[in-house]
Each structure stands twice: as structure tokens, then as C-alpha cells.
Amino acid sequence: MNNGDVEAAWEYHQGTKHSPWSVRSNPHFLDWPNRPLPFKVYPKIEPRPLPQEVPQTGVAALSAISGRVRSSRADRVPDLEALARVLFFSAGITKEREYPGGHVYFRAAACTGALYEVELYLVSGDLRGLESGVYHFNPADVSLRLLRKGDFRGNLRVATAVEPAVAHAPATIISTGTYWRNAWKYQARTYRHFGWDNGTLVANLLAVSTASGLPSEIVLGFMDAEVNRLLDVDTRREVSLCLLPIGRSAESPLPTPKDAPALGLETIPLSQHEVEYPAMLQMHDASSLESEQEVTNWRESRPVLSSSAWAGETVRLQPLPEDEQPKDTIEQVILRRGSTRRFDKTASVTLEQLSTIFDCATQGLPADFLAPPGAQLNDLYLIVHSVEGLKPGAYFFQRVLGNLELLKEGQFRAEAYHLGLEQALSAEACVDIFFLTDLKRILERYGNRGYRAVQLEAGAIGGRIYLAAYAQHLGATGLTFFDDDVTKFFSPHAKDKSAIFLLAVGKPPKRKQR
Ligand SMILES: Cc1cc2nc3c(=O)[nH]c(=O)nc-3n(C[C@H](O)[C@H](O)[C@H](O)COP(=O)(O)O)c2cc1C
């Protein structure tokens, strides 16, 4: 299959839509005794513990999320402490809870079903405190495990057809998705979750790197087989999702690629038995890049800018001026973040709070598929229930103009309840933010890999929304949705667009005084 044969992405997307009928008629149940392990464990490799008492950056979360941090450091080379900070605040365990189904280790970034199918690896040159190598990060014991000794950055330089950020990075983090860990619950829809859950993690990672004075960006242009081979993953189970170069060095010449033979390293099985979903393997294959030429073409694809047809009444967003914004640090906000489990239906947020969220979350995401800076693949639509300064109703976010365009006025809590898979959260929030995209134009421009990009971008902007809400002491949660009903609700404006992602923002109920 090839990236240009976009029937593959259409087929996958159509085949994994939720509708009231598909959800009610699905006989799938959670097989608790076969619940997958939430960690990848290499039992025969000694851990290399990461420092746990790492100094905080002290940078305000809202500045870190929006990338508005200017570093005066000439040195952009991370040391082990900086890497430990980035890894921990992206994928580390931030709290634990006991449930009837078992113990759950919650992580720094939100993840569908708390199943944490995204793993992180590190490909590094010699750094202060760390010798060069290919490592796996295990959040369970906050340690690295050395998979290959030596400097393999040259392999990534070749795999990305000399992507400048990768070619100059002292270290690159690679995220992978493990199908079964999420498919145990979500079946073939997991491939969408790869983008969402990797995206929320990436939002944290970019913010913490920025706060640490280390440039970083999302690289989706790489030859999949080369990177998978370097990490020695079994591609029927686990695949590379994106590269995240960290820092920048002037070092030259870069190391030449090295031989990366199969390692056959033992890992603990996730479950007694696993179920394979061929639709996901096909989607992944069809969106893989196989040659240098395909990678170069990917990088040169220009994004599809969203239309801003201006028909309805508009309201200008009014973000809080920077000196009036809450100053909690990025680390404090990540540790505080969770997914709000109940919203107070009687509460409201202000237009300034909502505007600040939008302003921070939609600042140009640094990604190889988004040029010029500021481009975006997803369009944002809102159902406003209770925002002071906005009439309740459905809106379209005119990103370039910074306006909300009123599409229809009214109280749509019942509709929001339905669209969010009949969960109370979408009805009781103050505002629901839907991500939709013109998938046809995206796939024409980028091929099947555009599907990966659009899901990942949604997750990353969604992750920023989570952080920007919690930075202002609000609540937020990702939600899933009935695909075609979302499009119908926002039509005619959203006609021909596909629903990609949903996030609700509001206030949790006040705790009763005892
Ligand atoms: C993309 C996405 C979709 C989600 N969908 C739902 C949902 O439909 N219903 C729900 O109750 N929680 C949903 N969640 C919240 C997750 O269950 C939550 O992130 C996970 O349990 C981890 O908890 P934490 O976010 O508090 O760390 C979603 C989260 C994400 C990132």
C-alpha cells in the first residue's frame, strides 16, 4: 500500500465511526483478567535511574504552553536532569488510585481509558550525565534502559532525510504506540487514540522543553521502518508515532549511521493473549513512508488553511493580558491536572478565561507538517452553555481573525449530551470544543499520513487546552463523540468536514465544607 492511495484512510475513518447504532450493537466487553500491563518492561536490562530531585523551571504554565518563553541561554544542550524533567512531566506517574478493576497509575498527560499505550524512547549523543545510546523510558521506576550503546543519531538523520531539527539535536525522543494496550478497550478505534494520546503527551513535552530553554518540535516525516528497526519494536504490536528532537547543537559533522541489527530483547507479555485488529495495521502500513523521496515530499506539503467565511455575528476573543494571567508554573499545573469527572452545571467561565485558553492553545504548533508557522489542520467549533459575555449557542472559531462566529443561538445542553456519547460531562460543562477537519483536502495534500497528522495535531491542541484550563483553576476533559451527528449539528457550516476530537471545559462542583 502507498501513502498516496488515500482510500485506506477513508476506509479506516469510516469503519471506526461511532454512531448510536454502532455503540449499542457492539458486543465488546472488558475482559478484566486479560487487562494489559500499563508498562513495557525489559526484565533483563538493568535500570539506569533518572534523577528525581530536578529543579523546577519556574516558568508560568500559560507562557510555556504558548511557546512565549525567550531563553537567553546560548547552550541548548540538555543534560540528564533536563531530560529527566521532560520525560517525567510528559509521561511520568503523577498519582495512583485503587479501583474495583485494579490499581491505576495516572500519568502527567491525559490518555483515553488511562491505558497509556504511548511509550517513550531516547536516542542521544554523549550528554552531561548520560552516555550516548538508544534508551527506553520506564515511568514505573523513573529510569532509562539502554537498548543500544553508542551514538545512533545519524540513523535518525538519514531516516528523516536530514530534517534540520533532528540533524542538530543533541537528543531525540521517539514516541511509539502499542496497539493492544489501548485496543483491549477501544478495539480498532485505537489508531485514532494513538494521535490523541500521543498529542496530549506531546503538548506537555513541548511546554516543558520550552520552559527548560530547549527548542523542540514534532517530526512526522520519517521512514517508519528505519526508526522501528532502531528501536527494535515488533511492528505488529508497537509502532513509532513521532520524533521529538530536544535542544540544538552546532556539532558537526554528525555521526554516520550505524548498523542496527535486531536485538530480540525480552519484554514481559502485556496480557495472557492479545487480539489483533487488522484495520489498524493496514492504516499504519498505508500511512508509512518508505523512501527518502517520500519523506522530502511530506516535508514540502503545504497545509490546507482553514476557510474563514464570515457570515454570522462575531465576538472578538479577549485574552487576559500577560501580566494579569495566573502564574502557576508548568510543573505545578501538570501535577494538578486531571480529567474533571463532574462539572457544575450552574457555574460559568468568563470570556477572558475562554479567550486565554484559545490564545495559548492555538499558537502555532511547532511541527514539520505545519508551515508557515501558525497553520492548523483542525477547525474548532464550540457549543457554549455558560460563558459570561457570550450568548449560549454554536460557534466557529475564526482562528486567523481571533473571533468567534455565532452559527446558531440557543441552549444546546441536550444536544451536547447526545454528541458526547450521551455522557453528562458534555452537557454540564461550560463549553464543549469540537475539532473538525476537511479530511478530503488533508488527504489530497498529505496522503494517508495526513490522517496521522490531523489526529496528532488535535491531541496536541487538546493537551494544551487541558493545561491552559488547569492553569486558570478550571476543569477539562477529553470526550469521545458520535462522528456524523457532530458534523450534522454544525452544518451547513461544517458540511463535508469530519469530526476528529472533543474536549469539554468547565468548573468542577465546589467541595462541601465539613
Ligand atoms: C482524547 C481523550 C478522550 C477521552 N474521552 C473520555 C470520555 O469519553 N469519557 C470520559 O469519562 N473520559 C474521557 N477521557 C478522560 C480519560 O479517561 C482520562 O484522561 C484518563 O482516565 C486519565 O486520567 P487523567 O486525565 O485524570 O490523568 C478522555 C481523555 C482523552 C485524552
Instruction: List, for residues 282-307, the tens digit of each pLDDT value.
Output: 999 999 999 999 999 999 887 666 66
Pairing status of strand 349-350 against strand 387-388: parallel
Please give the grid coordinates belonging to residue 309. Answer: 467565511
pLDDT higher than threshold 70 for residue 335: yes
Please give the pLDDT value at position 5.
95
| Cα(337)–Cα(345) distance, integer angstroms | 20
* pLDDT at position 403: 95
Vertex 9, ends 8 and 13: CA angle to 5°?
120
Predicted pLDDT at 255: 85
Q: What pLDDT is stored for residue 181 in this prediction?
A: 98
Q: Are 287 and 447 in contact (CB under 8 A)?
A: yes
Instruction: Give start and end residues of each alpha helix (H) in 379-448.
Output: 413-419, 424-428, 439-446
CA-CA distance, 208 to 219, in Å (whole number)?
Answer: 17
> Binning pLDDT at 50, 70 and 90, where does residue 132 land?
very high
Rounded to the nearest integer, the mean pLDDT of the chain is 95
* 135 pLDDT higher than 70: yes
216 CA distance to ligand 1 middle (Å): 26
Determine which residue's CA is closest to atom 10 belonging to ligand 1: 479
pLDDT of residue 307: 60
- The alpha-helical segments, DSSP class H, found in 212-329 are 224-231, 278-286, 292-300
Query: Which of 479, 371, 385 is CA-nearest to residue 434?
Result: 479
Beta-carbon contacts of 234 under 8 Å, excluding residues fewer than 6 positions away, are: none
Does the C-beta of 182 come closer than 6 Å to ligand 1?
A: no
Span between the terminal Cα atoms of the chain, in Å: 62
Using only the alpha carbons of the chain, give its radius of gyration: 22
Q: What is the pLDDT of residue 372?
A: 76
Report the pLDDT value the prediction gives residue 513, as an integer from 0 to 100. Answer: 64
**Residue 285 C-alpha to ligand 1 middle, in angstroms?**
27
| C-beta of 94 in contact with ligand 1 (< 6 A) | no
| Site of grid cell 478550571 | 474
Specify the pLDDT at position 216: 96
| Helical ranges in 287-329 per DSSP H | 292-300
Which of the 8 DSSP states describes residue 34? G
The DSSP element (H or E) to which 103 belongs, if any, is: strand 102-107
User: Could you tell me the pTM of the whole model?
Assistant: 0.97
Evaluate whether 377 touches 453 at the Cβ level (below 8 Å): yes
Instruction: Inform me whether the pLDDT recorded for 373 exceeds 90.
Output: no
Ligand 1 lined by 477 (C-beta under 6 Å): yes
**What average pLDDT does this structure show over 21-49?**
96
Q: What is the pLDDT of residues 482-496, one digit of tens each?
A: 999 999 999 999 999
Per-residue confidence band for 466, with pLDDT thresholds at 50, 70 and 90: very high
C-beta of residue 224 within 8 angstroms of C-beta of residue 289: yes
Pocket test for ligand 1, best of 479, 501, 503 (most atoms within 8 A of CB): 479
Q: Helix 190-211 to helix 449-471 angle, to the nearest 10 degrees?
A: 50
Pairing of strands 349-350, 498-506: unpaired
Confidence of residue 74 (pLDDT cuts 50, 70, 90): low
